[in-house]
Structure 1
Amino acid sequence: MPVTTDLDTRPFSATLRASTRVLHDRANHSEYMNALLGGELSLAGYTRLAIQYYFIYQAIERVSDQMAGDTVGGGFVFDELRRLPALEADLAHLVGPGWRTEIRPLASTEAYAARIGEAASWAGGYVAHHYTRYLGDIAGGQVIRRLLEQKFGLDQAGTTFYHFDAIGSAPAFRDRYRAKLDTAPWGEAERARVINETAVAFECNVAVFDELARDLDRYRVA
């Protein structure tokens, strides 16, 4: 459902965050994420999520390549953020050398990837999906990284996705990113569109978590 908000005098990044907070919390406290972060799942249970991320980031980074020359969207293309190489390394470790022929996207993941492609017909739509995924992984994703390290003894292999060494200081990078959001040349109507598409991105994430949750019992540890 689209999110509507009174766009006030706060920086746009603050309005965007506040306007989507409920959906952000819903994703973070989904049944699947609660089980994962509660230490209830096996490594195979986490691997199912990593597989979906591969297809999601494949879609986003394909659009990043297309958006690189855009006067607005190009400002949000950061080569140092790219996650596909990291996901490929993780899946080779988690699934095995034949991972490319063994993994499949869920129906919700396919729908998510399709939406990314559709939204990227305009820079604001691309940014909405880019913001939702990357800033979340830089911050909240570190909780998952620590869980994988502590519960399963993973070091770099298997957790490469959550290592953002190339961006330097994560807080400083997030500040630069928010500054780009604040200064993007969007009027009130287009900012509202960005907020609504960001809400759609969160809904897409929730749909993936909900589909993963349907088979949780197979991956719960005793």
Structure 2
Amino acid sequence: MTIVSSPTELTKPLLSALLREGSTAEHRDAEGSSFMTELLAGRVSREGYAVYLSCLRRVYAALEEGAAASLATDPIASAVIDPRLDRLAAIDADLEFWGGPVAHVSPATDAYVSRIQRAAAWGGTFVAHHYTRYLGDLSGGQAIGRLLAREFDLDGAGVAFYAFPEIPKPKPYKDAYRERLDALPLDAAEQQRVLAEVKGVFGLNGALFSELSAQLPSWRRRDLT
């Protein structure tokens, strides 16, 4: 007996391409923050960067200690969960270098963490968060680490967050990650649901950067004046 695929199955796009192309505008908006521009130019103080890392720590704790722990055997989320990507220990090492965790009131971080916690209700929405953070860390994050090391004359210290010692070749890893995305058992409607969450994640990142950008005047490096 011949099995004929439905029109929906035939036209269903590759999930990796859908996520990349469908979130281009949101990705661009999130990247163009004043905070990140000033940070990469070496004009943000140690305290300002420690605040940023402290906010990120809460985000990664929600991903790695919360959602990933509860979804380790989920048929969708387990395809991307990989302890080699975990960032918490690296963030903690960097925070120690930059002066320790900072108690910082951040409504944007609160909203981000809450969204991750809700996303754990379905493996597909968790994948959206995982994809947006970790593939970004393996891509543009590598350049950010090099720029910070140069601008702050770090000689390799304080930028563990951007280093993946267990993934020496990011490109093959990212290619394999995208293949796992494309193999996920999601129909077209579920793919669109994942894309909507990815767009939402970029919006959450943008809100965090806007919040940090508003506080830039208090985080100028005094040693540059």
- Structure-to-structure mapping, 1:153-164, within 5 angstroms: 153-164=153-164
Q: Deviations over 1:111-165 (max 9, x none)?
A: 1001000011000110000001011111111222112211112244310110011
Q: Counterparts of 1:17 and 1:116 in 2: how far apart (Å)?
A: 20
Classify 1:8/1:31 alpha carbon distance in 2 versus 1 (closer, same or farther; 3 Å): farther
- Structure-to-structure mapping, 1:1-222, within 5 angstroms: 10-61=13-64, 62-96=66-100, 99=101, 102-104=102-104, 106-221=106-221, 222=225
Structure number, greater radius of gyration: 2
Q: Deviations over 1:160-183 (max 9, x none)?
A: 110011123100010011001111
What amino acid is aligned across from residue 115 of structure 2 in structure 1? Answer: R
Q: Deviations over 1:61-80 (max 9, x none)?
A: 12111110111111111010
Q: Counterparts of 2:33 and 2:97 in 1: how far apart (Å)?
A: 27
Secondary structure of 1:167's counterpart equals coil
Aligned-residue CA RMSD in angstroms? Answer: 1.6
Q: Counterparts of 2:116 and 2:150 in 1: how far apart (Å)?
A: 33
Secondary structure of 2:166's counterpart equals helix
Q: Counterparts of 2:59 and 2:33 in 1: how far apart (Å)?
A: 18
What amino acid is aligned across from residue 87 of structure 2 in structure 1? Answer: R
Q: TM-score, normalised by structure 1?
A: 0.90
Q: TM-score, normalised by structure 2?
A: 0.89
Secondary structure of 2:151's counterpart equals helix
Classify 1:157/1:103 alpha carbon distance in 2 versus 1 (closer, same or farther; 3 Å): farther
Decide whether the 8 Å contact of 2:40 with 2:148 is kept in 1: no
What amino acid is aligned across from residue 18 of structure 2 in structure 1? Answer: T
CA drift at 1:11: 2.2
Q: Counterparts of 1:155 and 1:113 in 2: how far apart (Å)?
A: 32
Gaps of 5+ in 2: 1-9
CA drift at 1:39: 3.1
CA drift at 1:42: 2.4
**Structure 1 vs Structure 2: percent identity of aligned residues?**
39
Decide whether the 8 Å contact of 2:12 with 2:188 is kept in 1: no
Classify 1:64/1:155 alpha carbon distance in 2 versus 1 (closer, same or farther; 3 Å): farther
What amino acid is aligned across from residue 159 of structure 2 in structure 1? Answer: T
Decide whether the 8 Å contact of 1:56 with 1:112 is kept in 2: yes
Secondary structure of 1:154's counterpart equals coil
What amino acid is aligned across from residue 153 of structure 1 in structure 2? Answer: D
Q: Deviations over 1:28-80 (max 9, x none)?
A: 11222222223332233222211111010000112111110111111111010
Classify 1:8/1:19 alpha carbon distance in 2 versus 1 (closer, same or farther; 3 Å): farther
Gaps of 5+ in 1: 1-6
